[in-house]
Amino acid sequence: MIGSGSWGTTFGKILADGGAQVVMWARRPELAHEIAEAKRNSQYLPGINLPRSMTATPHLSEAIDGATQIYLSIPSQTARENLKALRALVAHSDVPIVSLMKGVEKRTGLRMSQVIEQELQCDPDRIAVASGPNLALEIAREQPTAAVISSMSLETAEDVARRARNRYFRSFVNTDVIGTEFGGVLKNLIAVAIGIVDGVGYGENTKASIITRGLVEMTDFAVAQGAHPETLQGLAGLGDLIATCQSPLSRNNTAGRLLGQGYRFDDVVKQMNQTAEGLASVAPILQLAKQAGVSMPIVEQVKRVLDGTMNPREIAPHLTTDDDTPQGERTEYGQAGSGGALRRAVERTLDQFRHGGRRAPGDRS
**Which positions are catalytic?**
187
| Rounded Cα gap, residues 237 and 183, in angstroms | 5
Indicate if the alpha-carbon torsion angle 308, 309, 311, 316 is positive or negative: negative
d(CA 155, CA 126) in angstroms, rounded, equals 9
Q: Give the whole-angstrom CA distance, residue 202 versus residue 105.
A: 32
Question: Residue 258 burial (CB < 10 Å; 0-12/13-18/19+)?
Answer: buried
Give the separation between CA 122 and CA 143, rounded to whole angstroms. Answer: 35
Three-state SS at 224: helix
Length of the chain as a residue count:
365
How far is Cα 133 from Cα 188, in angstroms, rounded to an integer? 12
For 83, the enclosing helix (H) or strand (E) is helix 79-90
CB neighbours of 238 closer than 8 A, spacing ≥ 6? 215, 232
Phi/psi for 327 (5° steps) reads -120, 155
Query: What three-state secondary structure class fits 206?
Result: helix
CB 133 within 8 Å of CB 242 = yes
Read off the DSSP letter of residue 274: S
Contacts of residue 247, Cβ cutoff 8 Å, sequence gap at least 6:
135, 138, 253
Q: Which helix or strand (DSSP H or E) is residue 29 part of?
A: helix 29-33
DSSP letter, residue 49: P
Backbone angles phi, psi at 147, to 5 degrees: -145, 170
